[in-house]
Amino acid sequence: MQVTVERAFWMLEYYRRHLTALAFGGRILGEEAACEALISFVWPETQAIGIKLLSEDRRDSWDRIISLRRATFELAQMGDPEFDSFRIKELFHSILIIGFQDGTRMFIAERTGGAEVTTFYDRQ
């Protein structure tokens, strides 16, 4: 289901505030990438986010700023027909799909159980 920019940024701010452990994935120019991530900044006024991408062992991280200007947002949740098309649906209860005009798609999925990654920030 398509969601408004305001709703998408509300969700992103919620993830940031609650240190929600997210699965991040994307298909950019035919190449797929996936890792665990945290939303570190949300700027609705400029339609951008800061995201911290985590290594598998959480020892390394990479910060990225992503402009979401002119992006479209869709939300697939448990119980929605489109949710069933995702292979990894057993691990997540909602997936925010971000589409860009050049065909790039990013996925931010919230894990079942609402896991938080506070220990990552405690080490910093």
How does pLDDT run across 20-69, given as a tens digit for each residue? 889 898 865 566 778 889 999 999 999 999 999 888 888 898 888 999 99
pLDDT of 120 > 60? The answer is no
pLDDT band, residue 3 (cuts 50/70/90): very high
- Report d(CA 16, CA 103) in Å as an integer: 26
SS3 assignment, position 13: helix
Q: Which domains are seen in the chain, by residue range?
A: 2-115 (2.30.29)
CA angle 58–30–80, rounded 5-degree value? 75
| pLDDT tens by residue, 89-103 | 456 678 899 999 988
Q: Which residues contact 42 (CB under 8 A, 6 or more apart)?
A: 9, 12, 13, 16, 49, 50
